[in-house]
């Protein structure tokens, strides 16, 4: 049993333990969760340090060059003339997944630490969270597309209950919307997965295979397969590969989320309890971005190349539209939810450029947004837990009343608006630089997209500084008198939660090569798919 | 020429590190050891100052030094961390550290009673760190990074009194407006990187000289690596200029600077007069070879327009800091104009002299405000301590402040024996020569710039005569006893820094011969071959200064002796000037409000159209399913149930028939037979 399996199944094990423990130990569950997250963080940190780069460790479409690989034949079923059904338990990581694994472990730790606010039904909550943890780790490790899909769908179930039971006033609406919206995307993806299965054969065994790395190599396709590069099959008059790409892309675009598939996000965020918002923003959105890179782009490179213009355009629209809508918000959490839409737009823009700096910028943006959105949602949680209100105009001049809190708010806000010295600046700058260079390097997306996209940075400054001015500066005034007693400054646990996030945001802002060097080989290999 | 002192390159590197790290450490330590914040900050900036002196001696008159280490690398370009030392670098370092040191000392008294003193010194140190790093940075990306960080420290310092509503509105405005300019800078960076695959200043404009190896031909702009349409060259220049215009408060991005005066006066002096706002000029000088003719003319036009506009606004303002703020904008316009006409040396020379005299003007104003504030607190009065209508006759009570202030004002007006005489005339001469070469419409530049020069004399001496001469108007206006309000001279912490600055406003600091620009060591090093001979060189200073002296007399009579007043208060010209050409109102109506409205409209669209679509498709599905349900219940199941119930009814009925009574059976038989016969009869 390898480290990746341990990473995936440790939470499941602890989740079962929590289920079996009698209720009188319910106060200890949260410590279990924290313990699991610490173990996972240690493992991922170890993996990150052990991760090797260079020509032999490219990953992407080279199965042999994935690291920490684990392989177990899982389902073998003889299905007559279709050969044998081959589903494998295949895990491995490359430059695209390793930083996200580390990020997920960190986010899970923060989520565990912010679960102190959960007051009821601890058993259900913490065991569901453990299940979610397993699914998340699995998604980033799985190299068999069937296994990936299992983990991918497995994420939905605990999230549905976590939002639907422990959420806010409109939790049921938000939970069902989230569940159905994402499910809608993924059921169609299942059809594409089936189509891919019948189009691809394992070069070693000759069976059809769900191995997604094999799906990235054109020579593994059977000549008359539905998704074959050469056969140019049509489905309903649309080229099959085009349709396949679009279906998979939309499935993940819903997760990212990309305008216009984003409306589940504000509702889910606003209704979800703080730890779940943290997981949603910190990890779930990255599953979308990861899926676009790993599946949509890698398996359908030819289509992605042709659609680059539109994908870049969607990115720009997300950036500007998300920022504009954020400007109109009066609910702090909704504002941050929309800012997520805007920030994730940079991922798409950088990716669409298909230049090494653009893709690195996009990856950096995912990681950076992971830290920063977690920080922002935690910050919202601080106020909300104390007075159960998030309406911006109900607060004023908090800087005098909660100075430490305001300090962290300023760090988080300035980091998110892309102040140099923080990771978001590096991420956004290189996404834009990549997008701008694209016209000279490969002619995929025009320069004006980068220029328009950069206006997102301006709008980001506008809505965040405006919030800062409205809520934190000026004379102290809150809606109700007794709030002043409730609004205590941060306690030690909260400070300890925020410090590592701020630390990583600054660390990656000052030494971005910590990430860039790790992902570089994989990024270059990825670009080769498109030449 | 070899350097005067001999230190190794390694030593240079260590000194440079020391120079920027001292303020950075001071930033953290001031926040940790709160009691010693001011000592820590002053120690650190003194360290930087000493390092700057040594570096200046080493590098000035000597060749460029360049150090860098790898930072970020991609396939076809990399970005390094490095220092670039040339004349411009060390000159700026010396200037910034010297002024910053004086301002730090001044601040000790100025901020003494404030609860947030440690934070003040921490922010000031952060600013010094960013500004010094900006100057030392060897590539455009690093400059951009510190460019934004100085903006950030300026944000912190403008909003230092964050409970003041006006202050937090001002710092938000400053940051967002600068962000707008920064976008230009960023786009410029993207163009350069895309075109030259490097952002290294030395490679682009120095020894590598990539910029010279690029050329435009057939509507294309060609570099060794890339080719793009030639309008990108113009766009690149304009983008960098946009960044510089925001930082240096040039039209149309100038409106943040007057509002930035909400910060502590010492901060206004250091950041918003002497150093940070000059960063725009510094940047343009660094990248000057990039600009083509179109961009240069635009820079010159905006420079001259800003200089003129700001000077007209400064004429009528009553807030002393506001006059100085517009004066700063105007003077920065002069520097931009100098860059536009291709005379970077004069721009830098003026930057240096302006830094001293403008810093002094602000610190002097700060002393007055400080003393008036003191008075206000002591007697519990209600008045605006920055409003000049309450001042007057202060020469008697604070002579030293008055004298240094007047020296600085003379330098600002460019009167003889002051540093301003040298640097401002350098710019004026260049503009005249430039217009002479270009001819025609370009003569408008020297005309406007001369006019602006006289306006400058007018507005600054208006301040002097209103503040230091005539009678002290505060007692009259508040109808109080004259002797009750005693104004004192500033104490040592405030006094000595301004006296040092006053020395640097003198011409002999920069030139052993106070009327000769060519004799200036600074100007000579920056531009050895300029202004030799030429008719303008003799005429321009004379006619500018003679008229200036005339104006000086008029202001004296009008404001010190109250012999006459202009009586223009009700005219539109006065209002235009007093209302600052209505830029704030226009921007608010044309940009801020529409953007917020648009944001609301987008949100409405999001909630009702996009999400409405999602929800209505959900509702539609629910309706369809309930329709299906109805169909299922009433039609399909209805059919099934219907058949069943028919059978059941029949069943019940037949059960009634078979009730075992013979009479019933006979009646039924009769009925059936009768029916049968009736049937036969009919058919």
SS3 per-residue string spanning B542-563: HHHHHHHHHHHHHHHHHHHCCC
Do the beta carbons of residue B390 and residue B477 sit within 8 Å?
yes
* Cα distance between residue B358 and residue B518, in whole Å: 24
Identify which of A360, A420, A466 has the shortest CB distance to residue B74: A360
Would you state the structure tokens that stand for residue B224, as one six-digit string? 């060794």
Per-residue pLDDT averaged across B157-165, rounded? 88
pLDDT digits (tens, 9 = 90+) for B375-411: 888 888 888 888 888 888 888 888 888 999 999 999 9
Are residues A425 and B145, on separate chains, in Cβ contact within 8 Å?
Answer: yes
SS3 letters for A100-117? Answer: HHHHHHHHHHHHHHHHHH
**pLDDT value at residue B116:** 86
- The residue of chain A nearest to residue B185, with distances taken between CA atoms, is A454
Q: B-chain residues within 8 Å CB-CB of A451?
A: 187
Least confident stretch, A56-70, B200-214, B234-248, B356-370: B200-214
In the three-class reduction of DSSP (H, G, I as helix; E, B as strand; rest coil), residue B115 is classed as coil
Question: If you average pLDDT over residues B82-107, what whole number do you get?
Answer: 90
Write out pLDDT tens, residues A94-141: 989 999 999 999 999 999 988 888 888 888 899 999 999 999 999 999
Residue B531 has pLDDT above 60, yes or no: no
Cβ(A322)–Cβ(A379) below 8 Å:
no
Give A185's contacts in chain B (Cβ within 8 Å).
Answer: none
B265-321 per-position pLDDT tens digit: 888 888 888 888 889 999 999 888 888 889 999 999 999 999 999 999 998 888 999
Hey, are the CB atoms on B162 and A513 less than 8 Å from each other? no
* Residue A317: C-alpha distances to residues A324, A342, A429 (Å): 10, 9, 17
Per CB-CB distance under 8 Å, the chain B contacts of A356 are: 74-75
* pLDDT score, position B175: 92
* Cα separation, B19 vs B37, whole angstroms: 18
Work out the average pLDDT over B635-642: 87
* Mutation for A interface: B130, B194, B199, B605, most A CBs within 10 A: B194
Hey, are the CB atoms on B600 and A451 less than 8 Å from each other?
no
| Residue B324, min C-alpha distance to chain A (Å) | 26
> What are the C-alpha distances in Å from B132 to residues B19, B89, B124, B136, B404?
8, 9, 12, 6, 28
Domain ranges of chain A: 307-531
Decide if B602 and A324 are in contact by the 8 Å CB cutoff.
yes
The rounded percent of chain B whose pLDDT value lies above 70 is 97
CB B226 within 8 A of CB B194: yes
The nearest alpha carbon in chain B to A173 belongs to B615
Judged by CB atoms closer than 8 Å, whether chains meet at A454 and B148 is answered as no
What are phi and psi for residue A509, nearest 5 degrees?
-75, -30
Residue B481 has pLDDT above 70, yes or no: no
Task: Give me the residue label for tokens 């140099």.
Answer: A420
Q: In this predicted complex, what is the ipTM?
A: 0.92
Q: How confident is the model at residue B325, as a pLDDT?
A: 92
What pLDDT shows up at residue B5? 63
Q: Read off the pLDDT of each residue in B468-475 and give the average, rounded to a whole number.
A: 82
Burial class from Cβ neighbours inside 10 Å (0-12, 13-18, 19+) for residue A28 reads middle
Question: Does residue A236 register a pLDDT over 50?
Answer: yes
Comparing CA positions, the residue from B310, B337, B312 lying closest to residue B326 is: B310
CA atoms within 13 A on the CB side of B269: 28
Chain B residues within an 8 Å CB radius of A400: 163
Using CA atoms in the order B366, B369, B374, B378, what is the torsion angle rounded to 10 degrees?
180
Q: Does the beta-carbon distance from B179 to A458 stay under 8 Å?
A: yes
CB contact under 8 A, A465 and B172: yes
A516 to chain B: which residues are within 8 Å by CB? 72-74
Give CA separation, A307 vs B375, B502, B656, in Å: 71, 65, 78
Q: Which residue has the tokens 């519990």?
A: B380
> Which run of H or E residues covers position A406?
helix A403-416
Contact between chains at A474 and B162 (C-beta distance less than 8 A): yes
Of B75, B186, B603, the CB nearest to A328: B603
Interface test with A, best of B153, B182, B606, B619 (most A CBs within 10 A): B606
pLDDT at residue B165 is higher than 80: yes
| CB-based contact B194 A181, cutoff 8 Å | no
Asked if B176 and A329 come within 8 Å (Cβ–Cβ), the reply is: no
Q: Which of the residues B186, B612, B613, B619 would you substitute to probe the A interface, choosing the one with the greatest number of A C-beta atoms within 10 Å?
A: B186
* H-type alpha helices, B393-512: 394-397, 399-413, 419-438, 444-468, 473-478, 492-503, 507-510
Query: Is the CB of B190 less than 8 angstroms away from the CB of A432?
Result: yes
Reduced to 3 states (helix: H, G, I; strand: E, B; else coil), residue B627 is helix
Picking from A268, A331, A357, A422 by the largest number of B CB atoms within 10 A of its own CB, the best residue to mutate is A357
Test mutation, B600, B603, B604, B622, chain A, max A CBs within 10 A: B603
Mutation choice for A interface testing from B122, B133, B172, B195 by most A CBs within 10 A: B172
Which residues of A fall within a CB distance of 8 Å from B146?
420
Please say if the pLDDT value at position B451 is more than 60: yes
Which tens digit of pLDDT belongs to each residue from A132-161?
Answer: 999 999 999 999 999 999 999 999 899 999
Q: Which of A456, A121, A156, A109 is nearest to A284 (CA)?
A: A156
Write the residue in A325, A440, A473 that is nearest to B606 by C-beta. A325
- Which of B159, B179, B195 is nearest residue A461 as measured by Cβ atoms? B179
User: Cβ of B193 and A420 within 8 Å?
Assistant: no
Say if CB A191 and CB A168 are below 8 A apart.
Answer: no
The minimal CB distance from A474 to the residues B163, B228, B614 is found for: B163
Q: Is the peptide bond before A260 cis (omega within 30 degrees of 0)?
A: yes
Tokens for A15, please give them. 């989740």
Structural tokens at position B341:
């006409």
Contact assignment for B73 to A513 by CB distance below 8 Å: yes
CB–CB of A125/A159 below 8 Å?
no
Q: Which helix (H) or strand (E) covers residue B623, if one does?
A: helix B611-630
Query: CB A181 to CB B193 under 8 A?
Result: no
Please state the domain extents for chain B.
Answer: 586-682
The token pair that represents B160 in the structure block: 């230092």
Name the residue of chain B whose CA is nearest to A462's CA: B176
pLDDT of B532 above 60: no
pLDDT band of residue B438 (cuts 50, 70, 90) is: confident
Look at residue B472 and tell me whether its pLDDT is greater than 90. Answer: no
Alpha-carbon span B281 to B66, nearest angstrom = 22
Taking CB atoms and an 8 Å cut-off, how many pairs form between chains A and B? Answer: 128
Taking CB atoms and an 8 Å cutoff, what residues of chain B touch A429?
A: 141, 186
* Minimal CA separation from A438 to chain B, in Å: 9
Nearest Cα of chain A lies from the Cα of B122 at a distance, in angstroms, of: 14
Cβ separation B614–A264 shorter than 8 A: yes
Q: Tell me the two tokens of residue B140.
A: 């455009």
Average pLDDT, chain B: 87
B176 → closest Cβ in A461, A472, A475 = A461
* pLDDT surpasses 70 at B483: no
Q: B71 contacts in A (CB within 8 Å)? A: 512-513
The answer to whether the Cβ–Cβ distance between A455 and B183 falls below 8 Å is: yes
B116 to chain A: which residues are within 8 Å by CB?
none
Q: Would the pLDDT of B160 be above 60? A: yes
Predicted pLDDT of residue A57: 86
Q: Span B193-221, mean pLDDT?
A: 84
Chain A interface test: which of B614, B615, B622 (most A C-beta within 10 Å): B614
CB contact under 8 A, B194 and A420: no
Residues of B in contact with A360 (CB under 8 A): 74
Q: What are phi and psi of A118, to 5 degrees?
A: -75, 125
Instruction: Write the burial class of residue A353 (CB in 10 Å: 0-12 exposed, 13-18 middle, 19+ buried).
Output: buried
Q: How far is A18 from chain B (nearest CA, A)?
A: 37
Tokens 């440079």 belong to B16
As a whole number of angstroms, the distance between CA B544 and CA B559 comes to: 22
Banded model confidence at residue B239, pLDDT cuts 50, 70, 90: very high
Q: What is the CA radius of gyration of chain B?
A: 38
Cα three-residue angle A294-A300-A304, rounded to 5 degrees:
95
> What CA dihedral angle connects A60, A62, A66 and A69, to 10 degrees?
120
pLDDT beyond 70 at B16: yes
Residue numbers in A near B610 (CB within 8 A): 259-260, 262-263
**Looking at residue B1, what is its pLDDT?**
42
Contact call for B73 and A180, based on CB within 8 A = no
> Quick one: which of B323, B325, B329, B294 has its CA closest to B308?
B329
Cβ–Cβ contacts within 10 Å for residue A482, how many? 9
CB contact under 8 A, A475 and B165: yes
Average pLDDT, chain A: 89
pLDDT digits (tens, 9 = 90+) for A347-373: 999 999 999 999 999 999 999 999 999
The mean per-residue pLDDT over the stretch B447-467 comes to 90
The pLDDT of residue B376 is 83
Instruction: Provide the shortest C-alpha distance from residue B74 to chain A (in Å).
Output: 6
């Amino acid at each position: 049993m390898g480290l990746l399996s341990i990473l995936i199944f440790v939470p499941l094990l602890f989740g079962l333990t929590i289920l079996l423990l009698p209720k009188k130990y319910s106060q200890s569950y949260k410590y279990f969760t924290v313990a699991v997250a610490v173990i996972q963080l240690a493992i991922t940190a170890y993996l990150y340090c052990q991760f090797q780069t260079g020509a032999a460790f490219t990953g992407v479409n080279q199965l042999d060059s994935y690291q920490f690989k684990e392989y177990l034949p899982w389902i073998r079923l003889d299905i007559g003339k279709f050969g044998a059904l081959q589903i494998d338990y295949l895990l491995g990581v490359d430059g695209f997944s390793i930083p996200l694994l580390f990020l997920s472990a960190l986010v899970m730790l923060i989520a565990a630490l912010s679960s102190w606010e959960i007051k009821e039904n601890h058993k259900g909550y913490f065991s569901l969270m453990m299940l979610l943890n397993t699914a998340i780790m699995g998604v980033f490790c799985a190299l068999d597309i069937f296994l990936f899909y299992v983990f991918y769908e497995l994420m939905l179930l605990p999230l549905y209950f976590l939002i639907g039971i422990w959420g806010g006033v409109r939790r049921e609406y938000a939970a069902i919307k989230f569940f159905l919206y994402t499910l809608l995307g993924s059921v169609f993806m299942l059809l594409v997965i089936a189509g891919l299965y019948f189009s691809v054969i394992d070069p070693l065994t000759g069976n059809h295979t769900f191995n997604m790395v094999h799906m990235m190599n054109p020579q593994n396709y059977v000549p008359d397969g539905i998704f074959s590069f050469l056969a140019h099959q049509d489905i309903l008059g649309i080229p099959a590969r085009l349709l396949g790409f679009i279906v998979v892309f939309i499935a993940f675009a819903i997760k990212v989320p990309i305008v216009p598939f984003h409306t589940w996000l504000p509702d889910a965020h606003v209704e979800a309890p703080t730890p779940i918002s943290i997981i949603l923003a910190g990890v779930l959105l990255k599953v979308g971005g990861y899926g676009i890179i790993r599946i949509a782009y890698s398996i359908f490179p030819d289509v992605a190349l042709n659609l680059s213009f539109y994908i870049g355009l969607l990115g720009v629209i997300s950036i500007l539209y998300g920022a504009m809508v954020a400007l109109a918000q009066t609910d702090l959490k909704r504002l941050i939810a929309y800012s997520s839409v805007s920030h994730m737009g940079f991922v798409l823009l950088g990716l669409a450029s298909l230049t090494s700096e653009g893709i690195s910028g996009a990856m950096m943006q995912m990681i950076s947004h992971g830290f920063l959105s977690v920080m922002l949602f935690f910050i919202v949680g601080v106020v909300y837990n104390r007075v159960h209100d998030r309406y911006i105009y109900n607060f004023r001049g908090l800087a005098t009343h909660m100075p430490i809190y305001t300090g962290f708010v300023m760090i988080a806000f300035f980091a998110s608006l892309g102040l140099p010295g923080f990771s978001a600046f590096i991420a956004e700058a290189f996404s834009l630089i990549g997008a701008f260079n694209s016209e000279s390097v490969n002619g995929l997306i025009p320069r004006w997209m980068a220029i328009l996209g950069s206006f997102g940075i301006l709008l980001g400054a506008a809505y965040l500084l405006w919030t800062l001015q409205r809520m934190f500066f000026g004379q102290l005034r809150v809606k109700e008198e007794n709030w002043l007693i409730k609004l205590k400054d941060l306690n030690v646990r909260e400070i300890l939660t925020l410090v590592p996030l701020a630390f990583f945001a600054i660390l990656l802002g000052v030494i971005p090569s910590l990430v860039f060097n790790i992902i570089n080989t994989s990024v270059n290999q990825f670009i080769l798919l498109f030449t | 020429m070899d350097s005067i002192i001999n230190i190794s390159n390694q030593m240079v590197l260590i000194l440079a590190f020391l120079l920027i790290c001292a303020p950075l450490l001071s930033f953290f330590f001031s926040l940790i050891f709160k009691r010693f914040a001011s000592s820590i900050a002053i120690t650190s900036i003194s360290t930087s100052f000493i390092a700057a002196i040594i570096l200046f001696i080493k590098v000035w008159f000597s060749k460029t030094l360049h150090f860098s280490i790898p930072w970020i690398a991609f396939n076809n370009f990399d970005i390094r961390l490095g220092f670039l030392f040339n004349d411009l670098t060390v000159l700026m370092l010396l200037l910034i550290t010297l002024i910053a040191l004086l301002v730090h000392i001044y601040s000790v008294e100025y901020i003494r009673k404030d609860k947030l003193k440690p934070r003040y010194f921490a922010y000031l140190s952060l600013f010094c760190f960013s500004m010094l790093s900006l100057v030392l940075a060897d590539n455009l990306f690093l400059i951009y990074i510190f460019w934004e960080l100085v903006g950030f420290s300026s944000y912190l310092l403008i909003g230092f009194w964050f409970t003041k509503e006006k202050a937090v509105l001002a710092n938000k405005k400053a940051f967002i407006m600068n962000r707008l300019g920064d976008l230009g800078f960023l786009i410029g960076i993207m163009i350069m990187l895309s075109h030259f695959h490097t952002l290294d200043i030395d490679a682009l404009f120095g020894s590598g000289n990539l910029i010279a190896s690029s050329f435009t031909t057939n509507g294309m702009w060609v570099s060794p690596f890339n080719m793009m349409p030639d309008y990108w060259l113009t766009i690149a220049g304009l983008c960098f200029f946009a960044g510089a215009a925001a930082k240096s408060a040039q039209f149309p991005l100038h409106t943040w600077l007057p509002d930035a005066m909400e910060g502590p006066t010492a901060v206004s002096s250091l950041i918003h007069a002497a150093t940070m706002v000059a960063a725009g000029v510094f940047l343009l000088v660094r990248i000057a070879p990039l600009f083509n003719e179109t961009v240069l003319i635009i820079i010159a036009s905006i420079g001259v327009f800003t200089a003129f506009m700001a000077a007209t606004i400064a004429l009528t303002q009553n807030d002393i800091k506001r006059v100085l703020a517009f004066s700063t904008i105007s003077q920065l316009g002069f520097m931009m104009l100098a860059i536009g006409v291709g005379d970077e040396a004069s721009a830098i020379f003026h930057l240096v002299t302006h830094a001293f005299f403008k810093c002094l003007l602000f610190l002097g104003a700060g002393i007055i405000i400080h003393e008036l504030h003191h008075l206000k607190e002591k007697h519990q009065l209600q008045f605006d301590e920055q409003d000049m209508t309450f001042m007057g006759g202060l020469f008697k009570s604070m002579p030293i402040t008055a004298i240094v202030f007047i020296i600085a004002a003379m330098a600002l007006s460019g009167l003889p024996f002051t540093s301003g005489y040298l640097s401002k005339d350098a710019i004026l001469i260049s503009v005249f020569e430039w217009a002479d070469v270009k001819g025609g419409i370009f003569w408008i530049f020297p005309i406007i710039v001369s006019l602006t020069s006289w306006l400058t004399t007018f507005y600054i001496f208006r301040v002097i005569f209103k503040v230091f001469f005539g009678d002290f108007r505060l007692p009259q206006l508040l109808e109080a006893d004259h002797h009750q309000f005693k104004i004192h001279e500033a104490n040592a912490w405030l006094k000595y820094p301004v006296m040092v600055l006053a020395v640097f406003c003198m011409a002999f600091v920069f030139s052993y011969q106070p009327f000769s620009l060519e004799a200036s060591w600074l100007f000579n090093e920056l531009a050895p071959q300029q202004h030799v001979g030429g008719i303008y060189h003799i005429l321009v200073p004379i006619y500018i200064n003679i008229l200036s002296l005339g104006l000086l007399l008029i202001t004296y009579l009008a404001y010190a002796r109250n012999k006459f007043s202009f009586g223009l208060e009700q005219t539109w010209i006065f209002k235009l000037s007093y209302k600052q050409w209505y830029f704030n109102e226009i921007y608010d109506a044309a940009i801020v409000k529409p953007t917020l409205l648009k944001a609301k409209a987008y949100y409405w669209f999001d909630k009702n159209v996009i999400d409405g679509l999602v929800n209505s498709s959900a509702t539609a599905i629910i309706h369809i399913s309930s329709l299906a349900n109805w169909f299922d219940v009433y039609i399909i199941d209805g059919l099934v149930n219907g058949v069943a119930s028919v059978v059941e009814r029949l069943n019940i009925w037949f059960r009634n028939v078979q009730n075992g009574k013979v009479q019933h059976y006979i009646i039924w038989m009769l009925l059936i037979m009768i029916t049968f016969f009736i049937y036969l009869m009919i058919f």
